[in-house]
Amino acid sequence: MAMRMTTDARIKIAVQKSGRLTDHSLELLVRCGLSYSRGKDQLICYGENMPVDVLLVRDDDIPRLVQEDICDLGIVGLNIIEERRLELISQGEKELFSEVGTLDFGQCRLSFGLPAGVPFEGPQQLQGKRIATTYPRILADYLKRNGVEAQIVAFSGAVEIAPSLGKADLICDLVSSGSTLRAHQLYEAATILESRATMIQTPKALVGEKARWLQRLLLRIQGVLQVKESKYIMLHAPRSALKAITALLPGSESPTIIPLEGRDDKVAVHAVCRENVFWETLEQLKEAGASSMLVLPVEKMLA
C-alpha cells in the first residue's frame, strides 16, 4: 500500500520513444531541472530529483494514455491530438485531455499535395476527388466545414506514393521542408492544420503534492520557452538619447538605468529583451548614440 501511494504521487509524462519529438521532449524536461535514469527495459525514465517519470511510447498512443489518465501529461504533435480528439468526439466521449501549451519544436503543416501542373483553385475543386491521407478525421472535418464531398483513402504511411500508384488524385499529408512532395512530383497547395509539439494534460483534476509539482513543472516549462528567445543587453547611453534608445530595445519592458561614476551625461542601461537581438538592432542603437554594447544569453528565468 505504501509503495502504491508513492507511485501515485509521481507525475507521469508520456513522450515519444523514438522519433522526431524524442530528443526535443527529453531536452525540455532536462532544462526544467529533471535528471533521470533510464530503466532496463528502456521504456521508463525515472526522475531522480523530482517526482516525475517519463514513459516512452509511440506518439500515436500518447493522447489515449493521457485521456485515460494512465499518464498525467503528454508531449505530442497537434496533428495526432486533433485526429484523436475528433475520434473521441465522434464516439460521444466527453472527458477529453486538455491542451496546456504549445512547444517550440515539431513544426509542420498538414497540407494538400497536388500533382505538379494541376492548379489549386480552392476547396470546391476537391469535390468528387480521391484524397489519400493518414489523417482521415481531420480531413473529413475540413471537407465537411467546406461543404465538399470527396473520397478519403486512408493510408497508414507513405501517402506520397498514392497518386503515382493511381490510388488517389491528391494527398493530404504532413509537410515540413516540402522535399518529400517535390521528390514525388507533388506540390503543397493549401494547408489545413498548422502543427507543433503540444503538451496535453489528463482530464482528471490533480490534487495535493502532485498538483503542486505539476504547477511548478508548467512554470518551469514556460520559463524554458521564454529563455530560448531572450537576451540580456547592457549598453551605455547619453541621457539625451535615453528615450530613443530604450524604444529600440526589442520586447523589453522596463530597463534598469544605472548612473556611471564621474559621468553626468551618460548612463548604463540593462534590459531583458524577450526577442532575439539582431546585428541590425545593435547598428540602430549605435546610430542613436549607444556605446559599449553587450548581448548575453539568458540561462534561467522565473516570472
Contact positions vs ligand PRT (CB under 6 A)? 16, 19-21, 58-60, 77, 79-80, 106, 108, 173-180, 195
175 binding partner (options ligand PRT, Zn ion, none; Cβ < 5 to 8 Å by kind): ligand PRT
Are 137 and 87 in contact by the 8 Å Cβ rule? The answer is yes
106 vs 223 by CB, closer to Zn ion: 106
106 binding partner (options Zn ion, ligand PRT, none; Cβ < 5 to 8 Å by kind): ligand PRT
184 vs 266 by CB, closer to ligand PRT: 184
20 binding partner (options Zn ion, ligand PRT, none; Cβ < 5 to 8 Å by kind): ligand PRT
Distances (CA, A) of 225 to 40, 205, 270, 299: 31, 25, 22, 11
Smallest separation, CB 150 to ligand PRT (Å): 20
Smallest separation, CB 11 to Zn ion (Å): 23
Calpha distance 63→89 (Å, rounded): 13
77 binding partner (options Zn ion, ligand PRT, none; Cβ < 5 to 8 Å by kind): ligand PRT
Give the helix ranges, DSSP H, for the chain: 2-8, 22-31, 62-67, 78-90, 136-145, 179-183, 208-229, 242-248, 279-287
16 binding partner (options ligand PRT, Zn ion, none; Cβ < 5 to 8 Å by kind): ligand PRT
Smallest separation, CB 253 to ligand PRT (Å): 33
Smallest separation, CB 79 to Zn ion (Å): 10
Smallest separation, CB 197 to ligand PRT (Å): 7
53 vs 173 by CB, closer to ligand PRT: 173
Smallest separation, CB 153 to ligand PRT (Å): 16
73 vs 214 by CB, closer to ligand PRT: 73
Cell digits of residue 170: 491528391
Smallest separation, CB 58 to ligand PRT (Å): 4
21 vs 214 by CB, closer to ligand PRT: 21
25 vs 125 by CB, closer to ligand PRT: 25
Find cell 523514438 and name the residue. 18
Q: Which residue is nearest to ligand PRT (CB)?
A: 77
Helix crossing, 22-31 with 208-229: angle to 10°? Answer: 100
Pairing between strand 73-77 and 11-16?
Answer: parallel
Calpha distance 195→132 (Å, rounded): 19
Calpha distance 84→82 (Å, rounded): 5
Pairing between strand 130-133 and 151-154?
Answer: parallel
Are 294 and 235 in contact by the 8 Å Cβ rule? The answer is yes
Q: How many CB atoms lie within 10 A of CB 210?
A: 15
Cell digits of residue 188: 503543397
Are 97 and 66 in contact by the 8 Å Cβ rule? The answer is yes
16 vs 125 by CB, closer to Zn ion: 16
82 binding partner (options Zn ion, ligand PRT, none; Cβ < 5 to 8 Å by kind): none
